[in-house]
Structure 1
Amino acid sequence: ETTGAVTAVPKGEQDVSGSIGSILPSVEVRMVDDDFNDVQEGQQGEMILRTPLVTNGYYRNEKATKDAFHNGWFCTGDIAVRRGGRFFIVDRKKELLKYKGLQVAPAEIENLLFSHEQIREAAVIGVPAPDDRTTDLPRAYIVAVEGSSLTEDKVKNFIKDRLAPYKQLRGGVVFIDEIPKSAIGKILRRELRDRARQETQPKAKL
């Protein structure tokens, strides 16, 4: 939608931090919360842009255009963190989970799980809390390496030692043979959510 680059790593520099670089000339960026209030540097927020590079709207789709802009700012849907003038993408806004009002980025948990030597693939979704349907409990679907001795408790303890209390895998850990993905390798979270609903449904008594 921006029709051109809005960030870049300066020519001649190398960046191995994983950032998407700094803002290019003629681009204004704000990092905002759900109410479009600016967040402090180092805090997660949605990147919104104002620049001549941004499209004026979606062709013959007024609703999409209205949803994509706020007071002249284009809402990217990217959740990021700004540190030292550079930006780090955390996740997509629509993928964020909410645990008791706090935002949890599945990608953050997944990236940590990927660092475990006995985990080949991982995907994290939210399952509704039994006592509060507005709260998401993070659940991890894991593809373990062959011969792994991993258990649900071992995975939970791995996360517990490294992430904040509200980012814990309270929705459980499920070991599967394969993470469902699209033809381009994108995790099909909808299929995992459908699976989770089936797993949490009460079984009918015979």
Structure 2
Amino acid sequence: VEDKIISYLLKRNFPFVLIGKPYKNIEEITHVDNDNFRAMQEATEHLIMQGHHQIAFIGGCLELVVTVERLLGYERALRNAGIELKNEYIIHEEFLREGGQEAVKELMSLENPPTALVVVDDFMALGVLNTLDELGISVPEDISIVSFNNVLLSEMVKPPLTSVDINIFDLGYQASKNLIQKIENSNEPIKRIIIPHKLIERSSCCHLKNK
């Protein structure tokens, strides 16, 4: 949220392109990003359409702009569906396997545990899957999961994860391409480039009535 590196580079007029959304000085920084708000809203709506109303959010550190954007998208989806927001269903951990493990233990110990999870990162989702397995909770029979980033890992785990593909290759390609343009032409205009996302459906979700 308060990235000192960005401030340093801006002050020295050093050419750079940001992958992600700047927290401030947005009109001064060329950045390449997904629409993380919309992507998380769609991921949450996917679970709502399958009959889930008790949907928890496992996010990363709130100092990361991407976490804030995805949390807002989750909240919007619930509000649009008339589903009550529950603070106990929102867990923030680092983007680590261990973070996912601790988060899911907290959630599943609630009096009314969630029937579905949105997890902001595939690596955290791996920790979630491992912990659910340790607790004897089956995916998707007992709980459904939608994850993010669609890294190779997401289709190799059991069950394969429904995950939002953020087109990682295109993020890197467009960032590099626009940095080269900026270096070659100091008058290159500031750009905001949005890379499309896509929900990849696999085996980690099922309709609530089948549980």
TM-score, length of structure 1 as denominator length: 0.22
Higher helix share: 2
TM-score, length of structure 2 as denominator length: 0.21
Q: Comparing both chains, which one has the higher relative contact order based on Cα–Cα distances under 8 Å and sequence gaps of 6 or more?
A: 2
Higher strand share: 1
